[in-house]
Amino acid sequence: MFFMVKESDMPRIVCVRDGPLVLIKGKRKSPVPLLIDEEGNSLSDADEVALCRCGRSKNMPFCDGTHAVSGYTDGKETDGKYDCRRNYAGKDITVHFNKSVCDHAGYCVCGLPSVFRKRERPWVCPDCASADEIIAVIRKCPSGALSYSVDGIEHRDPEINREPQVIVRKRRPYEVVGSVELEVEEWAEEVSREHYTLCRCGKSKNKPFCDGTHRDSDFEGE
């Protein structure tokens, strides 16, 4: 499968209409593989590879054309009401959250339940733990839905420059890090472009981004 795309130095992802995600390596040389599994093993070294996002390929994570016969569409099914960033201000830290791109990985509610309180409102209590503890948890957020500000300075991306990579995990969305360019018409309000998660179960209502729907489906992603 081959798609005609423009050349670029940096890796990028092209969303084919009602089709796969095309991961383009670009001309930039990198010491790490671009597409890896959760153990860090390289899955492909091709300059261009089509990744399944209908959730039905028999050659995961690669596209095998099943989307063409399964009726898969990549249109948004959300009215956008969740695409707004909410701010939770505390004495030492302000936590920012945009629900529309949250993939519900659970690192926040499991890692620091005193702050990220799943069944309470407001669900974030920025004064219920130290700023350092909150920062450590937010830095684990793969979707970019969470960020924070200290002394009026926002920290949306990691303090270090990460190499571009797309990580494929079982029963999880594609985890993209390192500022891989995503060719998409709309981006969620005030969230990271350095790291984000993309739907691969085919059922997100906010495609191409993951919205956590895979958790309630039988998606395996093997």
pLDDT tens digit sequence for 101-157: 999 999 999 999 999 998 899 999 999 999 999 999 999 999 999 999 999 999 999
- pLDDT for the residue numbered 5: 46
Quickly list H helices, the chain.
67-70, 107-111, 131-138
Nearest to 73 by CA among 22, 21, 18, 20: 18
pLDDT digits (tens, 9 = 90+) for 185-210: 889 899 999 999 999 999 999 999 99
Contacts of 116 by beta carbon, 8 Å cutoff, 6+ apart: 108, 109, 123, 124, 137
In a domain, 80, yes or no: no
Higher pLDDT, 155 or 222: 155
pLDDT digits (tens, 9 = 90+) for 53-78: 999 999 999 999 999 999 999 988 88
3-state SS, residue 73: coil
Element of type H or E holding 33? none
Structure tokens at 111: 């890692």
- pLDDT for the residue numbered 220: 75
Domain with 126 in it: 85-155
CB 62 within 8 A of CB 52: yes
- pLDDT for the residue numbered 204: 94
In a domain, 107, yes or no: yes
In a domain, 71, yes or no: no
Please report, for the domain that includes residue 118, its CATH number: 3.30.70
Residue tagged 């969470």 (tokens)? 146
Statement: residue 7 has pLDDT above 90? no
Tally of structural domains, the chain: 1
pLDDT digits (tens, 9 = 90+) for 72-101: 999 888 888 888 999 999 999 999 999 999
In a domain, 109, yes or no: yes
- pLDDT for the residue numbered 28: 75
